[in-house]
Amino acid sequence: MADTSIVTVDLSPFFNGDESGMKDAKEVITRACSDYGFFQVVNHGVPPSLMAQALDLSKTFFESPNEEKLKASPGEGAPLPAGYSKQPDHSADNNEYLLMFPPASSFNVYPNNPPELKEVFEETFSHLRKTGLLVESILNDCLGLPPNFLKEFNHDRSWDFMVALRYFPTNDVRLNGLSAHEDGNCVTFVFQDDVGGLEVLKDGVWIPAIPTVGSLVVNVGDVIQVLSNNKFKSATHRVIRQEVKSRHSFAYFHNLEGEKWVEPLPKFTEEIGEAAKYRGFVYKDYQAMRMRNKTHPPSDPKDIIHITHYAIST
């Protein structure tokens, strides 16, 4: 029977220099990433009070009139629809969101109300970026890569983005807040309100990520799965909409520069006599196909592009 919980890792040893604590944490994270690509972290460097404030401000924004929210609609030329967007009511994945790029980006479109939203969101983004770098470093060690390998491979932070999400309530069990999927990036961080709804597929069973004040849910994405030649798993997850209340959450995507070439690393292939499980690809090409899944959904779900598009048949 599958374990019905998601492991929680205390990251405080990485701040206070506790070598034994760091070793134990890496062992737990390695197991979680090898099995299903999901874990939670606490004492991660993002102030819980800031996370709570960001959630409160996002709720205030999403509860404002539509004409007010539409003032923060996406600007022209953004690589993703930065600012406020809402998925159509007929969409199975029904939600609305406010997306932002790094604070210095010219693509960001902020609402005027609440007035403190911009400052709090930018501070939240900056803290999550630091946590992303820390977790990337930990994963680097868990994979046994040379020191700073992932940091040097993935040094461009301009492709990272953060999104505040609101999932509408529903009494139709067929309508998920977000259908089962894997993330196409490197690592994703999520914090959510007490409504919950985030679930991860573990040993064939959907396990809820129970909301815990101050915790961040971490999931490995497709890039890490490919680089590690399936040593670490890209987590399959979904969001279940609730019947009574809207769900509010934030997701931060620790991404990869679009021109990067992605393929299994020699450490996990030729150096150990293993065949590569994926052919190489340019990251932005994969992201373009994933975006098309959303803007022009295929009539047959089997035609949706996943990382298996690059899988090498054995």
Burial 263-272 (b: 16+ CB within 10 A, else e): ebbebbbeee
Predicted confidence band of residue 90 (pLDDT cuts 50, 70, 90) = very low
Tell me: the pLDDT tens digits for 167-226? 988 776 555 667 889 999 999 999 999 998 999 999 899 999 999 999 999 999 999 999
Alpha-carbon distance values, 284 to 38, 99, 257 (Å): 24, 19, 8
Side chain identity at 24, as an amino acid letter? D
Q: Is the pLDDT reported for residue 55 higher than 70?
A: yes
pLDDT in tens, 122-163: 999 999 999 999 999 999 999 999 999 999 999 999 999 999
Q: What angle do CA 183, 199, 240 make, to 5 degrees?
A: 100
- Conformation bin of residue 107: beta by default, left when phi > 0, alpha when psi is -120 to 50: alpha
pTM for this model (two decimals): 0.94
Determine contact, residues 131/48, Cβ cutoff 8 Å. Answer: no
> What pLDDT is attached to residue 174?
54
pLDDT tens per residue across span 56-73: 999 999 999 999 999 999
The alpha carbon dihedral of 162, 164, 168, 173 has a sign of positive
Give the DSSP per-residue string, 193-235: -TT--EEEEETTEEEE----TT-EEEEE-HHHHHHTTTSSPPP
The per-residue DSSP string of 141-187 comes to HHTTPPTTHHHHHT--GGG-EEEEEEEPP-S-TT--SEEEE--SSSE
- First-to-last CA distance in the chain? 30
CA 142 to CA 135: how far, in whole Å? 10
Q: Give the pLDDT mean for 13-29.
A: 98
Q: Give the C-alpha separation, 31 to 7, whole Å.
A: 10
Could you read off the pLDDT of 102-132 as tens digits, one per residue? 999 999 999 999 999 999 999 999 999 999 9
Mean model confidence pLDDT for the chain: 91
* ∠ Cα 304 184 123 (to 5°): 135
Long-range contacts of 51-57 (CB under 8 A, 24+ apart): 51/124, 51/191, 51/214, 51/250, 52/213, 53/120, 54/120, 54/121, 54/124, 54/164, 54/250, 55/191, 55/193, 55/248, 55/249, 55/250, 57/114, 57/116, 57/117, 57/120, 57/121
Coil/strand/helix, residue 13: helix
pLDDT score of 1: 43
pLDDT over 90 for what percent of the chain?
78
3-class SS at 105? Answer: coil
State which amino acid sits at residue 61.
Answer: F
Which pLDDT score is estimated for 76?
76
Which pLDDT score is estimated for 60? 97
Domains and CATH numbers, the chain: 8-261 (2.60.120.330)
pLDDT at 273 over 50: yes
What 3 state SS string does 20-84 have? HHHHHHHHHHHHHHHHCCEEEEECCCCCHHHHHHHHHHHHHHHCCCHHHHHHHCCCCCCCCCCEE
